Structure formats: structure tokens, C-alpha cells
Amino acid sequence: MAEDLSSLQHVRGLVKWFDPAKGYGFIVCPDDGPDILLHVNVLRNFGQSSIADGAGIEVVTHRTDRGVQAVEVIAITPPEREDTPVLSDLAEMNADEISSTPLEPARVKWFDKAKGFGFANIFGRDEDVFLHVEVLRQSGLSDVQSGEALAMRVIDGKRGHMAVEVLAWEAAMGDPEHSI
């Protein structure tokens, strides 16, 4: 059966909530329309398995009998950064310093969202890189899985190597601004 292309709509909104364990979440429609269902498979097609609450998102939607749902993610913008950094290591860094730090290919060693942190390894290096849940959130992610490939900006913090920005591998590879 052919899809009715007239029901497709390009929408920009904010992520209301997304639960990777449930496999879905919702986007607040900017024009007071109904919330938009965001399924994890649509997000995975973009190269991410999670998204932070409050992140900006640009999607193509389709209206069904059960409501409006996202069928393609076009872009994701991390939530607004808070004025005061959660981690003291980031207190003296501004956005330009962070973005001038090179992106490095990495893989998640483990991450526990309930604890609020985990570790990753840069490819070809043995040392662990600390991942904090707030750095993930400010990067537009809400969770990462063991073994997941990422692109990270890493600094030498007060307690060792730590990520200051984290991108989904596919997003970093597909965006010339972030290319590794």
C-alpha cells in the first residue's frame, strides 16, 4: 500500500520526555497541536538510542488513526546549557574551548544512569574516560549503552580524563562541523 505523502509534515519541537527502556517518548508540538510520538527505532535511524528531555528536535511526522508520530529525525539540538556547570572541571571552560577540543572515537565501557556516570575508552588507548550524566544531557543524550560507539571531546580533569561533549557516532560522522 502506498504511503500518503500529503500527511507528512516537517515539525520542530522540544522533547517532552523519552524513556529508552520503554522505547519511546513524546515531542511537544510548537503550535499547541497534539504531542508527537517518538519511537526508539526512528531515533536509531538517526544514529542515537536516547535523547535528553528538553532537547530541540526537527522531525518529519505522519498522522495516523492513533495520533501523530515522528517517522524521521532531521536534527537534534541539545537542551540549553545551564549557567553554572554541574561539574567543577567545566567551570572555567567556555563553549569555544569545548568545541575546539578534538572529537575522538570512543566506545562505552559501562554507564549507569541511576548512578549518573560511567566510563568509556578512546579507541587505541587503555585509560578510562569519565562520562557524567549531565555531560550526556547537555550533549542531547539521556543514556548510553555498553559497547555503544561515540565521538567525544575529552579533557584532563582534576580526577583524570573526562568527556566534556558526547555525540552519537553516526551524527559525528555525518556532520562536517563535527567530523572526526
- Residues 6 or more apart whose CB falls under 8 angstroms from that of 6 comprise none
Q: Where are the domains of the chain?
A: 5-77, 88-174
The per-residue pLDDT for range 17-31, each reduced to its tens digit, is: 998 889 999 999 878
DSSP run (H or E) holding 58: strand 56-64
| Higher per-residue pLDDT: 174 or 12 | 12
Residues in the chain: 180
The per-residue pLDDT for range 38-89, each reduced to its tens digit, is: 999 999 898 888 898 889 999 999 988 888 999 999 988 888 766 545 565 5
Could you name the CATH architecture of 5-77? Beta Barrel (2.40)
Q: Do 5-77 and 88-174 come out as alike in CATH topology? A: yes
User: Which residue, chain included where needed, has cell 508520530?
Assistant: 69
**C-alpha cell, 110:** 559501562
**Of 161, 138, 163, nearest in space to 151 by CA:** 163
pTM of the entire structure?
0.66
Domain 88-174, CATH: 2.40.50.140
Average pLDDT over residues 34-39: 94
The per-residue pLDDT for range 113-137, each reduced to its tens digit, is: 889 899 999 998 888 999 998 888 8
